[in-house]
Structure formats: C-alpha cells, structure tokens
Amino acid sequence: MIPVLLIVVPLLSGLAAFFIKQEKGVKTWALLSTVITLVVSLLGLTVLNKAANLHADAEWLPLLGSRFTVGLDGMGQVLCLLTAVAFPIILVATWNSTYKQAHNFYAFMLLSQAGLMGVFLAYDALLFYFFWELALIPAYFLCSIWGGEKRIPVTFKFFVYTFIGSLLMLVGIIYIYLHTPDQSFALDAFYKATLTNKEQGWIFWLFFIAFAIKMPVFPFHTWQPDAYEQSPTAVTMVLSGVMVKMGLFGVIRWLAPVLPMATWLNGDTVALLSVIGMIYASLIAMQQDDLKRLIAYSSIAHMGLMCMAIFVTSEQGMQGVMIQMFNHGVNIIGMWIVVELIERQTGTRKISELGGLAQKAPGLTIMLVIVALANVALPLTNAFIGEFLLFTGVFNSTVSKNSHWFAAAGGITIILSAVYTLNMIQKVFYGNTSSLTASFKDIRFNERLVLGILVIVIVVIGVYPRPFLALTQETVDTILSRMIIKQPS
C-alpha cells in the first residue's frame, strides 16, 4: 500500500498540475502533494511499518514475466524518505522564484518525483528500467525550458549520456532475464540467474556504465558540472540531491548482488576510477570561481567515495554508504539553497565578486557554515558518521588487497574538501563587501525555516545515528550474503 501511494500521489498530482493555470494555485498544489507524500513516507517508516503494508504486487506483463512488484526495504526507506523530504524543502526554499508557465514546471517536478520513487521501490527489473527513464524525461524538460543560457546543448548532452547508459543496461537486463530459471524479471529470479564468470564479466560493464554515468564516476562525469550549472537551482537540487543516488542505489540493488563474481573481480578497477575521480574533482573544485561549479565538483568527489566503498566491500562501508546517501542529499540541498539565495539577491555566483555577507546576513551565514562544515564531515555533523564508516570500511576491507591505499588516497580528498569549502566561506562571507553585496538582505522566514530544518537533521543524525543504522542493517546483511562476503544471519 505505502509504496503504491508513494508513486501514485506525485504521479497523479503531477498530471493534474498541468491543468492548474494560476501560479499561486499550482505552487500550493505541488507543496500539498509533496507534503502528503512525506507524510505517507513517514507513516511507512513508523506506524504502518509492517511487511504487508510495505510490499505490493500486481499483474503487469504476464507474457514477458514482468510484474508490478514494489516494496520498501531499509535502503528503500532511506532513499524514499530522502526523496520525500527533499521535494517540500526545495519547493519552500524556492517559493519566491517565479517561473514562466509555472504549471508545467511544477507538473514536471512532481512527475520526476514519481519517477524517482519508482526507481527506489521497484523489485522488478523491467519496472526499474521504466522508472529509471521516466525520472529522466521530466528532468530533461525542466532543465531545457527553465535553465540558463546554454541550457539546450548542455541538457542534451546530459540526456544522451544517460540514455546510452540506460540502453546498455537494458541489454544487460535482457541477457540476465533470458538466463533466469523461470524467464522472469523479478529481483529474486535475477539472483538465481545462472551465468558463467565470463558472462558476468561483460554484463557487469553494461550495468556499471549506466550507473557510473548517473553517479557520476570518472571518466563519465563530464555532463555533470555543466548540467548543474545550467539548470534552474530547484532542478539542480533534485539532480544532485536525489537523482545521483539512483546510480549508487542501482549498484547496491541490481549490480553487486546479481553479479557478485564480477563485482569482486572488477572491484579494484572501479575503486581506482573512483579514487582518481575524487582527487581530480577536488583539485578542480579548488580552482573554481563559480559557486555552482564548485559544489558540482565537490559532489563528484563525495559520490566517488561512496562508490569506492561499495566496491571495496565491507559491512561498515556498506552501512556508511546507506547513511551517507541520505546525508549527502540533505547537505548538498542545503548548499544549493544558500547559493540560490545569494544569486537571487546579487545576480552573481562568482566568488570573486562576492564578499562580506556575514555582516549583512548573519542568519544566512550561520546556516551556511553549519551546512558547509557538514560537507567537510566535521564531527557532530551527519556526514562525519557517514564518512567515518566509509573510511573504516574501506580500510578494514578484506575484499581488496589494496584497500589501505584506497583509504589513504581517499583521505587526501577530505583535506582538499576542507580547503575549498573553507576558502569559499572565507571569500564569500568575510572580508569587505563588494558593490554587489552592499545592499544584501538577510534571509526570509521560509528560507530560515527550511535551512533550520536541514540544520536540525544534520545535527540530529550526527549525534544520534543509531535508528538509521538499525533501519538499514537488514538490507546490508542481505546484500553482503548475496555477495558471499558475510554468512546470512
């Protein structure tokens, strides 16, 4: 019941939003819909937390052996919660932005939420593929219609990259499907597929490229900074906060447990790519003058760390990925909100043209500093828990012989991330005011509200992460036992 609602509510309200022509009306409608989704998601997490409520199954394509199977396990709960939390926050934070043809904008936003929910809930490979693409189409329209100056080519590049990736994945899905014992697309059938090591080896890359483009992992990342820069900020928040998690999620649910041998075999290669990407992205982030690009590159570095931890597998690492997927989403949305606020008032995102905001807007500064410190994983913030687990996991991993090296190289990026983040804070918020920032006003109520909520989430998870870790423990156990790393308990 719960999973169906999570998909249907945004889907139907999104379709309805196309017909609400008043801007105010459609804004309220969208907010209402996302709040309902959030409530449903919270109910699924707490009160209605029974297996019967968390799974649904219906006939879909009987001839092909594909069923409409959706369900919520621990990992699904975390990511659906992230999606459910992110959208109302984004809508409130950008409440004062105006869009031409607002009804279309909010309709596409809600449809992309439906697509994302579907990806995180699907237990059937064909259904997963459907939602995987359906999340992309609204994003394509959102970026191309309401984006910046170079939006059309940039968004197109983003689209083609992901589309090629997903087609490769489709071939992989079909191949595994033909080798399942009962010719079915169900996740359980995929676990039972009989594939030789050689077959696993090449199917692995079909899947991995699709997920790597989405994350993005070096060298498939080139679409990302441009797309983040050119998209309207509300969409950038969706892309970077939620949509990139599709890649990690895909690896954890559809790649590692389905093709365990290949994951073992290629683990070091992927980890190496991740490490290269992390260092490379951190170094570039240090050179950036544009706030959006800086955050985009920092995001590549953080995603690389999570990807590395999945492939240098260990229990702590996997737990770290679970919690860090949520944390990264929350933190980066916080960062984007601040950027959006600055850009809306000053009209620029160039670090060199800003300065002295702390005098003008103390409220904003406090919020930003907390979010930024969370971004560099300071203790007491949520990202510290996540990254600590990730690094311990990578360091102690028994799967890879080179895990120490990976951990050490990854550690450098933490230092680099502190360098560029603190540098950014210093240049934007301290120093003398520039002509653009002289008349800067502090944040309004709604912005204070969402940033406040984000800060509370950051600190609460940073201090008391146990409920979260308990939630995903079972998923981690299942996946590790599928990967023949841990005995099923």
| Binding stretches for other proteins (CB under 8 A) | 61-63, 129-130, 132-134, 137, 141, 144-145, 151-152, 156, 159-160, 163-164, 167-168, 170-171, 174-175, 177-178
Q: Which is nearer to other proteins, 164 or 351 (CB)?
A: 164
- Contacts with 358 (C-beta within 8 Å, 6 or more apart), sequence order: 365, 429, 430
Closest approach of Cβ 160 to other proteins, in Å? 6
Cross-strand bridge partners of residue 134: none
Q: Which is nearer to other proteins, 213 or 322 (CB)?
A: 213
Task: Residue 90: name the closest of 24, 51, 17, 38 by CA.
Answer: 38
Q: Which is nearer to other proteins, 161 or 384 (CB)?
A: 161
- What sections of 288-402 are H helices per DSSP? 291-311, 315-346, 357-360, 362-375, 382-396
3-state secondary structure of 444: coil
Q: Which is nearer to other proteins, 114 or 301 (CB)?
A: 114
Between CA 254 and CA 190 the distance in angstroms is: 9
Q: Which is nearer to other proteins, 157 or 486 (CB)?
A: 157
Closest approach of Cβ 379 to other proteins, in Å? 44
3-state secondary structure of 69: strand
Q: Which is nearer to other proteins, 143 or 238 (CB)?
A: 143
Both tokens assigned to 271: 């980890």
Residue 29, H or E segment: helix 23-45
Closest approach of Cβ 132 to other proteins, in Å? 8
Closest approach of Cβ 12 to other proteins, in Å? 15
Q: What is the CB neighbour count within 10 angstroms for residue 430?
A: 13
Closest approach of Cβ 144 to other proteins, in Å? 5
Q: Residue 107 burial (CB < 10 Å; 0-12/13-18/19+)?
A: buried
Q: Which is nearer to other proteins, 161 or 429 (CB)?
A: 161
CA atoms within 13 A on the CB side of 350: 6
Closest approach of Cβ 247 to other proteins, in Å? 18
Cβ atoms of 360 and 345 closer than 8 Å: no
Q: Which is nearer to other proteins, 171 or 415 (CB)?
A: 171
Closest approach of Cβ 251 to other proteins, in Å? 21
Q: Which is nearer to other proteins, 167 or 369 (CB)?
A: 167
Closest approach of Cβ 133 to other proteins, in Å? 4
Report the first-to-last Cα separation within the chain, whole angstroms. Answer: 28
Closest approach of Cβ 18 to other proteins, in Å? 9
Both tokens assigned to 485: 């790393």
Task: Residue 199: name the closest of 142, 246, 258, 272 by CA.
Answer: 258
CA atoms within 13 A on the CB side of 48: 16
Between CA 413 and CA 67 the distance in angstroms is: 43
Per the omega criterion (within 30 degrees of 0), is the bond before 216 cis? yes
């709604």: which residue's tokens? 446
